[in-house]
Each structure stands twice: as structure tokens, then as C-alpha cells.
Amino acid sequence: MQGMVCLRCRRGIEMGDKSVAVYMFAQTVGVRPRQKSAAQRVCFCPQCAVSLAMALPEQRQPTQAPILARERNTPVAENG
């Protein structure tokens, strides 16, 4: 079995390392007979899994401290 890489940051993930695996497949709906694709596995390292779960921007350097909050400068629509 080959080593995996994190889909987000391309960091190597070896067997026995902690990671989050997501299995994806596609299936047709409303068409008979149903067609189903083979399941594909993608992996995320723990840092990227947490960033994705908290909707944080990508962190390229593993030594970078996590960003807990960020300001959003979104314009407010005025009614009138």
C-alpha cells in the first residue's frame, strides 16, 4: 500500500499517521439502471481537517499558528 498525500496541502501521510479519509462516489438518480462509480479515497492531514471543519483559510507552513478568527470586510447593501 502506498503512502497518501493531503489533498489540500500535499503533505505526506504515511501508514499509521493520523488523518481524515473521505470516500467519494457518484451514482445516477432517476435513470435506470443506476450507474455507480468506484469509490475514491481522499485524505486530509489533521491540520487541514481542522481548517476545513472551521472554514479557515489554507495554511501552507506547518509551523504557522492557527488562525482562530478573521475579520470580514463585506459591503452592506443599502435599501433606498
Give percent of the chain above pLDDT 70: 68
Q: What is the pLDDT of residues 16-41, one digit of tens each?
A: 889 999 998 888 888 888 888 888 88
**Residue 45 banded pLDDT, cuts 50, 70, 90:** very high
Residue 60 lies in a domain: no
Residue 25 lies in a domain: yes
Decide if 50 contacts 9 (C-beta within 8 A): no
For Cα atoms 45, 13, 70, give the angle at the middle one, nearest 5 degrees. 20
The range of the structural domain enclosing residue 33 comes to: 4-53
Residue 58 lies in a domain: no
- Confidence (pLDDT) at 79: 54
Amino acid at 20: V
**What's the structural domain count of the chain?**
1
Decide if 52 contacts 9 (C-beta within 8 A): no
Grid cell 496541502 is found at 9
For residue 33, whether the previous peptide bond is cis, meaning omega lies within 30 degrees of 0, is yes
Residue 71 lies in a domain: no
